[in-house]
Structure 1
Amino acid sequence: MRGILTIFLFAIFVSGFAQNQRPNIIIYLADDLGWKDVGFNGAKVVKTPNLDELAKQGMVFDNAFIASPACAPSRAALLTGLMPARNGAEENHTYPKSGIEVLTNRLQQNGYKIYAFGKVAHGKMNNECNWDFYHEKKVNLDKNVQEFFNKTKIDGPVCVMIGDRRPHVQWTSDNIYAPQKVDLPGYFIDTKETREHRARYYSDVTGFDETFGKNLSFLENLLGENTIMVMSSDHGAQWPFGKWNLYDEGIRTPLVVKWPEKIQKGQRTTAMVSWIDILPTLLDLTGSNIPENLDGKSFAKILLGETDVFRNEIYTTHSGDGIFNVYPIRSIRTKRYKYIKNLLPGCYHTNHSDLLRKDGAGAYWDSWDEASKTDKHAAEIISKYYQRPAEEFYDMQADPNEQNNLISNPYFQNEIKELRQKLAEWMLMQSDKKTVFRAPYLLSGPKPDKALIENIIDTK
């Protein structure tokens, strides 16, 4: 009897010790930060010293992707572990269906308190996340975070989620970069106005990095070594061929995970992961219950150095953004190839940038139109932006900027057929109805512009 009691008491002790060893968690999100626009991913002009230091201390994912390149569906996929067609947040500014679980609830069931600051979920979804505390203001994040924790007692494991609005438009007018010295992708039109806006975007990226550094230093001192730190961005930047597109500039995201003494410092992995995998991974690492039938899955073994293989394909969807972007797209990407299916090839692709042309956002578009009048290459870029073929196929190894559509190339027909079939099967499995949520802009009609948008709004 005494032996049984001893075993029982030992089991209670071990269980209590494990509970006390649960790591704290920090999830830090940028808004519209392009994956190449950070130092640890090779940026040459824009400076991100604090992010670069995090990369040295943790693991960098070279092939991390989001579920959908618009704010609301991307963040809904992160928080539910489900792709847009399954959770219900497909079009931008829409939210998961009633009854869809937010995965942070599983952390709370395991004794965690969730403290959220800034833009974590999107819009009203923040009100449905059951945070233990939520500070909705998106400015002065370092001040907000420090003021809260300086007067809050931490009596158990915590998950701190911080969402900075930068570098979402409108970009700052407090410019710290010289426009003539910024670098531009080859598929941009090089104008004075483009460079000025690029410098403002870079200034916001560096501003994000500065606040990130302050918050990380404060929180790590507060929470201690046993803390998992995750940094990422909800999708690419609001530039042509970025946000609202399924090119890598829209769907590939910076991702770094740090956990002292658990994750080896300074590692890079080529494993392919998705935003839907992040919370299942954190649930796994903390011993929290993981729901069945998620699209996301744990990549804990990647972090702990037990394997370097995870996903073979990444699926991504986009279903539009109100009346500004009515252009649904689906894609499948492997490490070598990408296949894109444009559901409305007979319609114009547009978004807020080219339609509204706001200062600090898309105002450079006027200079693009002007350049296209005399520059054939500029005209080709604009044409490629507005009009897309039904299918696109890229060799990402030979053509990482996705400039050479190989859909008709005889050499790649086997690969194209395979990825086309896999995407179709996946869409069927997802119950993707390929819904077009708004009236599209037919190529046979006028090219959409600000006047047309204003007329649509006025007639509603």
Structure 2
Amino acid sequence: SIPVPNMEKLAQDGIRLDRCYVASPSCAPSRAVLLTGLMPARSGAEDNHSKPKPGTHSLIEDLKKAGYETACFGKVAHYGHGPDYGFDFIGPERPPNLGAVVDAWLAKRESTKPLCLFVGTHDPHVSWPVKTTFSGDALDLPPTFIDTPDTREHRALFAQAVRNLDSLLGRLRKISSERLGENTLFIHTSDHGSQWPFGKWNLYDYGTRVPFVAAWPGKIKPGSTSDAMVSWVDLLPTLIEVTGGTRPSGLDGKSFLPVLLGEKSTHRDRIFTTHSGDRQMNVYPIRAINDGDWKLIHNLHPEFAFTNHSDIDRLPRAGRYWTEWVEAAKTDDRAKAIVKRYYQRPEFELYQVGRDKWELENKIDAPEQAERVASMKKELAAWMKDQGDTGKIFAKPRPLDQPETWQDVPRKAEN
């Protein structure tokens, strides 16, 4: 129910991939996966705000070897991490007018090399805008939400952030056309799901399945779609193939350029996702395997409480609605079940994601799924071992049986 005309126009001009997944649904690990072509345990960037271990190869270097100038503006690497990846030029991370900054740089650019340009916007990350043109009452809410006045007020602010993102997308396309010409591959995607319950920091599709839309005149068939499964770990290997460069050996990522060009209809038959935590705000390691129809989630420590910034801080324009959710859970059975499901997870979850979009029906104990569960558990464990993934805990957890610890982090209030 949030209109995104510029994103839709990009899809009309190119291809929409309906099953694109991030490898890890928080900012720093996801972006490290993008820029290294390695999954979190292999790069060392596992928990949020972390960097790859020293000596980790950046795929930006391979784009440069292919003869391309590389530049980034806004939040591309995690904040402050840009210099670690070897970009030729790094613009400001949070300028007040990102589109104008990009346009001004392109107008002054003198290099005759082909360009690989990354632009990362803060929207729709929290904090959401102060004002909105949307009415919360007119917006749809996911079935995992509790319908309260503050939820709808915050949903309207989130919708405005999405609209702002879409407006920037439209401006960047115009700038690209005017400054770079038609022989340009233009891609739009996102580093994780939105910061709502069961989204960011979670391995449900609401946290890991992200938009991917690309246009390339004369190369990508306009108006095409694909349900090929691709991962963010594949993005830069794809760009390296586009540039004619050489993909380094030993990567987890592999190019899906044939999917974009309509030469292939499949890419991966498994999507693996990981989440390790976000400092003291979220201490909840999770791993998952998705075969396209079924997803198995392994909550490595079900004795921990799942928390994050939203329910701990409950700040305006971010997570203040949580106060109403907790209050509603005292008298409403549905609200109580949602809040309980948020904080308390079983060790394993199984969803038929091909039919159960919001992953509402956990079939882990269904007798007819016993063989599938055993097989997926074994495959996920073997993958973790192959990755060198030990399921490390990066901060002090909040025990599930000690709810008084779930909101014990003092934070500075935000207007």
Report the CA distance between 1:444 and its aligned residue.
Answer: 2.3
Matched ranges for 1:253-268 at <5 A:
253-268=210-225
Matched ranges for 1:29-40 at <5 A:
none
Report the CA distance between 1:398 and its aligned residue.
Answer: 2.6
- Is 2:84 the counterpart of 1:128? yes
CA distance in 1 between counterparts of 2:217 and 2:146 reads 44
Report the CA distance between 1:447 and its aligned residue.
Answer: 4.1
Report the CA distance between 1:397 and its aligned residue.
Answer: 2.3
1:305 corresponds to:
262
| Residue number among 50, 54, 61 corresponding to 1:98 in the alignment | 54
- Is 2:21 the counterpart of 1:57? no
1:370-426, Cα deviation, whole Å (9 max, x unpaired):
111111110110000000000000011231111111000011112111111110110
1:275-333, Cα deviation, whole Å (9 max, x unpaired):
00010011112110110010000111111221112100100000000100000000001
- Is 2:335 the counterpart of 1:381? no
CA distance in 2 between counterparts of 1:218 and 1:298 reads 27
CA distance in 1 between counterparts of 2:191 and 2:82 reads 15
- Is 2:21 the counterpart of 1:84? no
1:115-145, Cα deviation, whole Å (9 max, x unpaired):
2100000023202122221112323111101
- Is 2:301 the counterpart of 1:322? no
Amino acid at match of 2:107: N
Report the CA distance between 1:77 and its aligned residue.
Answer: 0.2
2:204 corresponds to:
247
CA distance in 1 between counterparts of 2:33 and 2:208 reads 13
CA contact (8 A) 1:117 1:137 kept: yes
1:211 corresponds to:
168
Moved more, 122-131 or 95-104: 122-131
Residues 87 and 417 (structure 1 numbering): CA distance in 2 closer, same or farther, change over 3 Å? same
CA contact (8 A) 1:58 1:257 kept: yes
CA contact (8 A) 1:349 1:387 kept: yes
- Is 2:184 the counterpart of 1:237? no
| Residue number among 264, 278, 291 corresponding to 1:334 in the alignment | 291
CA contact (8 A) 1:355 1:448 kept: no
- Is 2:242 the counterpart of 1:285? yes
1:8 corresponds to:
none
Runs of 4+ in 1 over 3 A off after TM superposition: 447-450
Moved more, 322-331 or 301-310: 301-310
CA distance in 2 between counterparts of 1:314 and 1:163 reads 24
Residue 199 of structure 1 aligns to a residue whose secondary structure is helix
CA contact (8 A) 1:327 1:344 kept: yes
2:307 corresponds to:
350
CA contact (8 A) 1:348 1:447 kept: no
- The TM-score normalised by the length of structure 1 is 0.88
CA distance in 1 between counterparts of 2:106 and 2:214 reads 23
CA contact (8 A) 1:441 1:447 kept: no
CA contact (8 A) 1:57 1:266 kept: yes
Residue 150 of structure 2 aligns to a residue whose secondary structure is helix
1:153 corresponds to:
110
| Residue number among 101, 107, 113 corresponding to 1:144 in the alignment | 101
CA contact (8 A) 1:350 1:448 kept: no
CA distance in 2 between counterparts of 1:240 and 1:447 reads 20
Report the CA distance between 1:151 and its aligned residue.
Answer: 1.6
CA distance in 1 between counterparts of 2:373 and 2:189 reads 31
| Residue number among 413, 424, 436 corresponding to 2:381 in the alignment | 424
Moved more, 222-231 or 65-74: 222-231
1:20 corresponds to:
none
Matched ranges for 1:396-435 at <5 A:
396-435=353-392
Report the CA distance between 1:427 and its aligned residue.
Answer: 0.3
| Residue number among 351, 355, 365 corresponding to 1:394 in the alignment | 351
Report the CA distance between 1:454 and its aligned residue.
Answer: 2.3
CA distance in 1 between counterparts of 2:70 and 2:177 reads 16
- Is 2:229 the counterpart of 1:272? yes
| Residue number among 112, 118, 142 corresponding to 2:74 in the alignment | 118
Residue 393 of structure 1 aligns to a residue whose secondary structure is strand
Residue 142 of structure 1 aligns to a residue whose secondary structure is helix
CA distance in 2 between counterparts of 1:81 and 1:347 reads 31
- The TM-score normalised by the length of structure 2 is 0.97
CA distance in 1 between counterparts of 2:60 and 2:218 reads 25
CA distance in 2 between counterparts of 1:443 and 1:371 reads 20
Amino acid at match of 2:3: K
CA distance in 2 between counterparts of 1:330 and 1:415 reads 17
Report the CA distance between 1:448 and its aligned residue.
Answer: 3.3
Amino acid at match of 2:220: I
CA contact (8 A) 1:372 1:378 kept: yes
CA contact (8 A) 2:185 2:215 kept: yes
CA contact (8 A) 2:399 2:405 kept: no
CA distance in 2 between counterparts of 1:188 and 1:350 reads 16
Count of paired positions: 411
Q: Gaps (5+ residues) in structure 1? A: 1-44
Amino acid at match of 2:405: P
Residue 227 of structure 1 aligns to a residue whose secondary structure is coil
1:185 corresponds to:
142
